[in-house]
Structure formats: C-alpha cells, structure tokens
Amino acid sequence: MFCGFIRTHCYKVAIAALAALVFLEYGFGVFYDERGRINEAYFTFNLTAPRLWGGLQNSSDVSYSATSNMTLIALQSSNSSDPYQLDLLVDSLNFTGKPLMCPLVSPLLVGRTNVSKIAMPMEAFQEKYSPLLGPGGRYRPPDCHAHYKVAIIIPYRKREEHLQLFIQHMHPFLQRQQIDYGIFVVEQSGDTPFNRAMLMNIGAAEALRQDEFQCFVFHDVDLLPEDDRNTYSCPEQPRHMSVAIDVFKYRLPYEGLFGGVSAMTTEHFIKVNGFSNLFWGWGGEDDDMSSRIKYHKLIISRYPPSTARYTMLSHKKARPNPNRYRVMRNGARRSKVDGLSNLKYKRIELEMKPLYIHILVSIKPS
C-alpha cells in the first residue's frame, strides 16, 4: 500500500540496505553466530582496524579477572567496554593499598616438572579450567595486574592430539607465571603446503584486532616447556625460547636458530615486517626471521638452557621444502615488501572456544 505510492523509493531503500549488509559482511566480517563464531571475511594486516571482538564486551565479562572485592565492584559498576580503559581503571585503584602489579617473580612457580604426554578428557579439563577463563580462553591473574598482555600464536593443521596436550599443559603453566594471555590457534585449511610463517603473521594480525597485546610468543604445538621459570614474556630483544629440547639432548642445534618457540614484542615484530609469506612447506622461515632481526640491528637473546627446556611430542618428519635456500637469498632486503605489509588471507571462521581462540584460514601464494 505504502509502496504503491512511492514504489521507486522503496526500491532504492531496499537496494541500499542490501548493499550495506554485503559491505558489513565482507568488509568487516561483523556477523557472528550465537556460538561465538565470526563468519568468513577477507583481511589484510591493518594496525588501525577496529577491534571487532573486544574480548571484553561488557562489564560482566571482566568479573573473571578480578577477585579483590574492591576491584570487582568498581569493574562491575563501570559501563566501559574498552579493555584498555578497564586496565586504567584497575590502575587507578592503587590507592586501596591492595597489591596492584604482579610481582616480578611469581610466587606460584614450581620450577622444573615432568611433562605429561597423556591428555585427560577435554571436557574434564574444560570443566576445571573454564571458570577461570574469559571468552576464548583469555586469562588474567585474579589477584594482581599482569605486566604484559601476551598472545601465544600456534600455527596448526591436523595435530589434534598435540593440540590437546598443549592446551592442557599451557593453561596451568602460564597461570603459574601470572601472565595476562590469550592462545590463538591459527589453522590452515586445505592440503596446500603448510606455511607456518604466514599463519604466525595472521595470528599476530588477529590478536591485535582483539586487544593491545604487547608481546607475541610464536609456538610450535609439539613443544611443551618443562620449567615455569622460563617466563612467557618479551624481553628487550627478540628471544629464542626453545633453547634446550629433549630430542636434541637439551643442546642448541645452531647459534642462529629462531624456530620452535620464540618471542618478540609487538613493536619489534612490526618493525621487521613480521615473517616472510613466501615459505611454503617445511623450513627456512625461521632462519629468514633471524636475518630480518639482524638486518634491523636487533639481537637474538636466550635464557639459560637449564630453564629454557622443552619436551617435543613425536610426529612424522616433514619433507623439507627444496626451494627454501633460494627464497632465503636476499631475505633481509626483501623484508620491506614481504611480510605483514602484503599479508592477505581469507578468514573462514573465528571461534571463541572455551580454552582458546580458533581461527581457520585459507591462504595462497600471492
């Protein structure tokens, strides 16, 4: 009836609404379903991109991060949805005389422990740990304010058993260190050669869309730290963490090694333009990062092998990529144009699981 009068206008409005929906869906990927999954969208690396999922959507979401009554009440009565503002709010509670920053050495550390290679049923683990965790398995120490926000980035495909063990090992381990952390599992879809480095670039980009992480730990899923004095933070220089691995008789295989587990501040990671996107298949990407680090006058640092110890879970050895030496040539100079600056990927799904953030992506050579 109404349309009968202004049919042309209705038509235009309908077209405009449809265009807006398509733009929102493909430009920003803002639609997510009730299980906390964000649907398919295309992305590049963009530091100024709006955070689509703040992690902390409203004040009730943050209650897991505060046990001190004073802090809890203040957080609950605030309407701020910005995690950074909430941090400032926590800081402003200093005058209460409650402990504010976590101590430099956590009192919860136990030192060297045996690493279990037998996972408990995931449901049982989840039941025990998810009450301590925020959406996507995000953790903040309950009694003090952590020094850093650390994003643990796991490149992943078809290692389900390892992932279970990893998740079950890392939550208690990181919580003993009183770290504010999120675990991002970035899974490559399809059967194209695995690109570990590109998945790490994607993990960093996705983490920064969620929160102001100051530190990245890039972590193979099959390496489990044995000693919680091996702190998961980013010191002043890029840090190679998996110094002493059981299968290598706890000895560093070679000096320039940056593979396995390594940590870099967000600032340094952006400075070196992230990892190269050109390493398809096994090998080379970590050495390429070593040369980026040197080229930018940074130094690889390490903690002593007595604490930087890891147990490696066993798997079939991958066939090395025979092209890796060719790609590595001119690596340092190429670093300007190959990395975060030309990263492109299709995010098939982002799911805030109870114990970690799962990001399924489709990638291809550009």
Determine the length of the chain. Answer: 366
CB of 312: closest distance to ligand UDP in angstroms? Answer: 7
DSSP output for 115-173: PP-SPPPHHHHHHHHGGG--GGG-B--SSSB-S-EEEEEEEESS-HHHHHHHHHHHHHH
CB of 201: closest distance to ligand UDP in angstroms? Answer: 14
The contact mask relative to ligand UDP for 186-215 (x = CB under 6 A, - = no) is --------x-x-------------------
CB of 261: closest distance to Mn ion in angstroms? Answer: 11
Q: What is the DSSP letter of 276?
A: -
H or E element that contains 5: helix 2-5
Q: Which of 292, 295, 272 is nearest to 284 (CA)?
A: 292
Using CB under 6 A as the binding rule, whether residue 268 contacts ligand UDP is answered as: no
Using CB under 6 A as the binding rule, whether residue 280 contacts ligand UDP is answered as: no
Three-class secondary structure of residue 22 per DSSP: helix
Closer CB to Mn ion, residue 219 or residue 353?
219
Query: Which of the residues 305 through 344 are near ligand UDP (CB under 6 A)?
Result: 315, 317-318
Sorted by sequence, the CB contacts under 8 Å of residue 106 that are 6+ apart come out as 176, 177, 178
CB of 345: closest distance to ligand UDP in angstroms? Answer: 16
Q: Which of 279, 289, 200, 203 is nearest to 240 (CA)?
A: 289
Using CB under 6 A as the binding rule, whether residue 169 contacts ligand UDP is answered as: no
Closer CB to Mn ion, residue 187 or residue 222?
222
- What are the backbone angles phi and psi of residue 220, rounded to the nearest 5°? -60, 145
The contact mask relative to Mn ion for 198-227 (x = CB under 5 A, - = no) is ------------------------x-----
Return the range that interacts with ligand UDP (CB under 6 A); candidates 8-16, 149-157, 178-186, 226-234.
149-157
CB of 72: closest distance to Mn ion in angstroms? Answer: 42
Q: Exactly one of 9, 12, 128, 158 binds ligand UDP (CB under 6 A); which one?
A: 158
Using CB under 5 A as the binding rule, whether residue 286 contacts Mn ion is answered as: no
